[in-house]
Amino acid sequence: MASFFVNVLGALIFLFIFWKKIKEDHAGEVIFSAGTFVILGIILGYFVSARFFKEWFFWLEFLGGGLGLGVSIIRFKIRPYEAIDAFVISLSPWLALTFLKDSIVNSSLISFTAFLACLTAIFVYFFLEGRYRSFFWYRSGKVGFSGLSTLGLFFLTRSTIAIFFHNVLSFSGKSEIYVSAIVAFVSFLLVFNLSRQ
């Protein structure tokens, strides 16, 4: 019951923030359709992980959401970096609520720490969002910096923590070190590419 409530609330928050982030460039129907594709992708990832790869649930849900976002970008012609930026900040509260729920239900200090890390990531996003255009080395000034940088820092943190703790909720064992490090590297590489456009 707690999981159902958290996921419904998380999905609603996701849709609201996703809409707010790109409402100036797209119609409401397009935004909510795109958001629905992302949520359906996450649900698909959940069922695949529950059936076949339980310890990979985070990654399969993340991949499912990413595939849903990719379909939305192609179908509704949403700018990729704008979509990624909205995707990152919209999913963050949902992920934070998931960790908070686990910390309460299972009295898990590690999950509560992960919840605080998610809140920190949200703060970092908004901190960067208000300042990135003033960074002298970020000459393009294009949207996407905040989301990609936050994503990179988040997964870099996951990779670092996984070196010492393999059994954290949503971690996929020792492979977490490498998978998270790869995503962090790709995120920072995209930031570098975006800065040169």
pLDDT tens track for 151-194: 999 999 888 887 776 666 566 667 888 888 999 999 999 988 88
* DSSP secondary structure, 97-155, as one string: HHHHHHHHHTT-HHHHHHHHHHHHHHHHHHHHHTTGGG-TT--S--TTHHHHHHHHHHH
pLDDT for position 1: 75
pLDDT for position 20: 92
Domain with 22 in it: 2-195
C-beta of residue 56 within 8 angstroms of C-beta of residue 49? yes
pLDDT tens readout for residues 103-112: 888 887 888 8
The mean of the pLDDT values for the chain is 87
| pTM of the full structure | 0.88
Number of domains in the chain: 1
Range name among 9-13, 84-88, 142-146, 184-188 with the lowest pLDDT average: 142-146
Q: Is the pLDDT of residue 125 over 90?
A: yes
